Structure formats: C-alpha cells, structure tokens
Amino acid sequence: MAFFSMRQVLDEAAKGGYGVGAFNVNNMEQIQAIMEAARETKSPVIIQASRGARSYSQDKFLYHLMLAANELYPEIPLVMHLDHGNSVETCKSAIDLGFTSVMMDGSLMPDGKTPASFDHNVKTTREVVEMGHAKGVTVEGEIGVLGGVEDGHGAGGSGLEHVTDPDQAVEFVERTGVDALAIAIGTSHGAYKFSKKPDGSVLKMGVLLEIHKRLPKVHLVMHGSSSVPKELQDVINKYGGHLKETWGVPIEEIQLGIRNGVRKINVDTDNRLAITGAIRKVFAESPEKFDPRDYLKPAREAMKKVVAERMVQFGQAGHAGDLREPVSLAEMAKKYAQAVVGV
C-alpha cells in the first residue's frame, strides 16, 4: 500500500472533527511504537522526521523503515512528513526521497534560528507549494515563530516574541496556497515550555480562535504541543535524572484547538521523556544488563503507551477505517492542477 498524502488524511479529519497526532522519529523502535499504538487504537497517523532525524538515521535507512511500517501495518493510513524544512532544497530532497508531505518553515531563515521577514516566508513557501503540488505532495507552512530550540531548530525565547498575527495568517494562506498552517500561540519546542501551568497570558488560544474564525476551512497545526506530564518527569528524576519542573500544553487546550480547526498536533518531547525514563529505570534497577534489547523493549513500550493515549485524546482513535485507499500522488497532482483541492 502506498503512503497517504497528508492532505487526504487532514481532509478526512476535518469531516470527522478530530485531530491527528504527528509523531517525530529517529530510529526503528520509535516507528514500531507509533505503529503499534496506531494498530491498538485503530488510528490514522502522521510520522515525521526533522532534518536532524534524517541526518542521524540517514535518509535511506529512515525511508526503508517507513516502507516496512507501511507493509507490516497495511490497515493503518500512514503519512510520511518532513518536519521543519529550512529551505526549498531541503523540501525538494524529501519529496525526491518519497515523503508524501513536507513542511517549509519559512518563518525562519535557512539557519533555522533567525526569524525571517514575511515576504521571505511567502516567497519560499510558495515555491515549495508549487513544487510539491506538481507532484501531489502536501505542503505545510508556518506563520509566526515558535519558542525554544529542538534538534538545533528554533529561535529560542519563550514563544511569545512572535505570536501569529491573524491578518498576516489570512494573507499568507492566500498568497502561498498551503494545505496546512502552523501558527505560533506561545508554544515552544522542547521540554521547558512553561514555568507554570499555562493560562491566557502565555498560551494565546484566543489568537487560534480568531484565526480559525477568519480561515474556517484551513487545517491548522499546533507545534510544540507535548503535554510534558509530571509522571514522566518523575520517572526520569527518580532514576538519576535532573529535569527542572516544567509544564507543557494541557490536553484540554489541545482539544479546544481541535474543536476550532486544529487538525495536526506535533508531539515529540512526551515520547522522548517516556523512552528516557524507561531506559533509566532498567539501568538503575538492573545494572548488570547490557543487551540493548533489555532496555529498548521497555522504552518502546513506554512510548507506545504515550502515543496511544494521545491518539485517543486527539480523537483519531477508531478512524483508521475511514480512509480505505490512498489517493495516489499522481491523482493529487491532477486535483491541484485543476484547482479542486485547496483552501
């Protein structure tokens, strides 16, 4: 079975009023954890890789792991997505490899750190949209800048320095033709998102609601949306870690977003915490262990548990069967050319 385009999956999610988790991967165990969670919950899923992940795993290894996942779990609608492409060239390399969806993050310059001008963002994103749509590939863009740094990508800061302007969001969508729009509402990459449980002063859900009001048919994306549960932090610290107290994005706020146009929710930190806690536990309780399988199996299971929980919370559980067959990229390209796919 071919990979699904993200546009097909998000269109279906919009019909059903649910969100779809997009989970980052770097290795085989993470892919296995996500696919097992998807099978257990009967969920469609977006698996995404950043530039850092592609470098770490090497493109061919990563792509063939994804092919294996698609072959072994034929009942699961699966999207292969590039997270935070920093340039047109990066997005092109992902499309050429076989990704069915790419994100052009033109909100930052190619260094992945310096905030870009609005015109630069429009220009580079539009170029990727034209290139991607010609091949039937979904394109996500971003307006506004998230806080924090993860995998070497990010402008740092709290996430409140470059909150998305709703007026610019409308203009950006009109000028680029993106399939999905990532917005900045105070969230950040990494574990240290908020120093207290977030409220309206740091998590600008009102901005999201306003953007959805103005762009009701646009698939919105929440980045930096790990919830950073205290119980995952506690496991790490119990077994020798030194995480500072921190808060993530509350599930109820994500669910509010889903009720107001959010269709893709990016989760990475929660899975990293689950894996790290499980490995630390094995090392602390069984210091004689040295077989990687002895600690990677519980790490994989811990991540699976978190992913399955998010799939239920985002509402995608039970919806794998809604997407029977993938629309081919060639057919998607025809639809884009005929302007029968668009926001």
Per-residue model confidence as pLDDT tens digits over 110-167: 887 788 899 999 999 999 999 999 999 999 999 987 654 455 544 444 455 678 999 9
Q: How far apart are CA 214 and CA 292, in angstroms?
A: 51
CATH of the domain at 30: 3.20.20.70
- Rounded to the nearest angstrom, the gap between the alpha carbon of residue 149 and the centroid of all alpha carbons in its chain is 15
Contact 103, 95 (CB under 8 A): no
Helix and strand numbers, DSSP H then E, in the chain = 13, 8
Contact 37, 307 (CB under 8 A): yes
Q: Which of 11, 83, 151, 179 is catalytic?
A: 83
Contacts from 283-288 at CB under 8 Å and sequence distance 24+? 283/239, 283/240, 284/239, 284/240, 285/239
Residue 277 lies in a domain: yes
Residue 256 lies in a domain: yes
Which residue reads 């668009």 in tokens? 342
Helix (H/G/I), strand (E/B), else coil: 42: coil
pTM above 0.85, yes or no: yes
Residue 343 lies in a domain: no
> Is 83 an annotated catalytic residue?
yes
pLDDT in 10s for each residue of the chain, 343 residues: 689 999 999 999 999 999 999 999 999 999 999 999 999 999 999 999 999 999 999 999 999 999 999 999 999 999 999 999 999 999 999 999 999 999 999 988 888 778 889 999 999 999 999 999 999 999 999 998 765 445 554 444 445 567 899 999 999 999 999 999 999 998 876 777 677 777 766 788 999 999 999 999 999 999 988 999 999 999 999 999 999 988 889 999 999 999 999 999 999 999 999 999 999 999 999 999 999 999 999 999 999 999 999 999 999 999 999 998 999 999 999 999 998 776 5
Residue 1 lies in a domain: no
Residue 79 lies in a domain: yes
- Element (DSSP H or E) covering residue 47: strand 45-49
Residue 339 lies in a domain: no
- N- to C-terminal Cα distance for the chain? 27
Torsion sign over Cα 7, 26, 305, 37: positive
Residue 295 lies in a domain: yes
- Element (DSSP H or E) covering residue 231: helix 230-238
Q: Give how many domains the chain has, as a whole number.
A: 1
Residue 340 lies in a domain: no
Question: CB neighbours of 80 closer than 8 A, spacing ≥ 6?
Answer: 3, 47, 48, 49, 63, 66, 98, 99, 100, 101
Range of the domain at 162: 6-334
The pLDDT of residue 319 is 98
Q: How far apart are CA 217 and CA 51, in angstroms?
A: 29
Alpha helices in the chain (DSSP H): 6-16, 28-41, 51-57, 59-72, 88-97, 118-133, 166-176, 205-214, 230-238, 251-258, 269-285, 292-314, 329-337
Contact 35, 289 (CB under 8 A): no
Helix (H/G/I), strand (E/B), else coil: 14: helix
What's the token pair of residue 273? 């915490």
